[in-house]
Homo-oligomer: A and B are copies of this chain.
Amino acid sequence: MRYHNLTVSTIRVTTASAAYSVTIAPGLLRTLYPRLRRLTPGKTLSLFVVTSPAIWALWHDRFLASFPSNQQPTTLFLPSGESHKRLAAVESLAQQLALAGADRDSILLAFGGGIVGDITGFLAAIYMRGIRYVGLPTTLLAQVDSSLGGKTGVNLLAGKNLIGAFHHPLAVFSDIDTLATLPAVELRAGLQEAIKSAIIHDAKLFLYLEQNAPLILGQASDTDPGLSTKFAPKSTPGGIEHQPSNLVFADAKTMAHVVTASVKVKAEVVSKDEKESGLRMVLNFGHTIGHAIEAATHYRKLLHGEAVAWGSIAALHLSLNRGLITPEDFARMANLILRYGPIPPFKVAATPQASAAKLVALTSADKKKRSGRRAFVLATAIGRTEVAHNVTDAELLAATQSMLTTMQQT
């Protein structure tokens, strides 16, 4: 095996309702079947892969490499793109499962990015009132964020993720190699979530991201200057897809470290607070304004990680304005976010003032806001945060305007 000398990291997530392991390594797919076997010893495995046609075309050889010929899983396909993250897709998959004989002992394998994970997890939550699933995230964003924590669901016309369930996977296996076929722009957007993890909870990861930026960004830069635009999700929101490329990740070790450290942050936080009553809120750092940006741009102009990057810069400005962080720490954090760019600029109104006002108005609709109180996550140092419930619209407006000024200067 090419990878025998690469470290396999295993991180345990333990919540009130479930406990499972996240395994991270390059080359993991090639050893998938024995790993699945070990999860449910003694039983015949009834496995159903849910994936996208593009991912399956690129990776099915490695995926199936370890399966005995008489134990091939059934494969169900989801068309890619956020527009398919709806109950109709869930119903179609459920119908296919039923016709293929899936029962309560069957296990779904969610092989793809965040949308595949969200839909498959939700499908598993409601098929026959709940069956098991395994996460096999193939994008950086899914590996460091969405595959963990048990949040599953689909969109309504009225809003994103308004339908869903908490349903934890049986296990998560993240093969770093699958990131090799990810467009650079998607990799960079995922790295912004890693930076967020560093800012909220892991000063050592922050330092690692600072010091290894050239190495990491070497993987995530566009060799073709037009590439970022080429793959930008303007026409198919959420539809950024894996592309044929070398299928080998040049610096898998560094990326594995970044993924592992980010997963540790999320695992620690969700282990302590499964259902977002308090601590888990800190994972929403940058998300209040980030979600407003996504809504204002109709989820078309920026990737989630890019919107969160701008939202994080706004949150840093607010933290600085409150005197919670030093100007030096502010500069280091804002600079790291910008260095892992370019983060596309956006415009939601004619003037910066009007843009800021529009974004702040949109934060009121954020579903994270319960019974009228807005919870806002502030940085208090590199690797430390706190949740404030007394952030005023005026503070939010000032911070958002400062963020837009930063955008104009870059």
Contacts and interface: CB of A to CB of B under 8 A. Distances in A.
A94 B164 CA distance: 11
A161 to B, nearest CB: 8
A156 B126 contact: no
A95 interface: yes
Contact of A126 (B157, B164, B371): B164
Interface stretch (A53-61, A96-104, A351-359): A96-104
Interface residues of A, number: 34
Contacts of A158: 94-95, 98-99
B99 A165 contact: no
A166 B130 CA distance: 8
Interface of A: 43, 86-88, 90-91, 94-95, 98-99, 103-105, 122, 125-130, 151, 153, 156-159, 162-166, 367, 370-371
Provide the main secondary structure of the chain A interface: mixed
3 closest A-B pairs by CB: A98-B158, A129-B164, A87-B91
Contact of A95 (B98, B129, B156, B370): B156
A370 B94 contact: no
Contacts of A103: 367, 370-371
Nearest to A122: B126
A165 to B, nearest CB: 6
Contacts of A86: 91
Contacts of A105: 370-371
B91 A128 contact: no
Contacts of A130: 165-166
Nearest to A159: B98
Kindly name the residue among A95, A129, A156, A158 whose own CB sees the greatest number of chain B CB atoms within 10 A.
Answer: A129
Contacts of A98: 156, 158-159, 162
Nearest to A86: B91
Given A104-B370, A126-B153, 9 more contacts: A91-B163, A95-B156, A98-B156, A98-B158, A103-B367, A126-B165, A127-B163, A129-B151, A129-B153
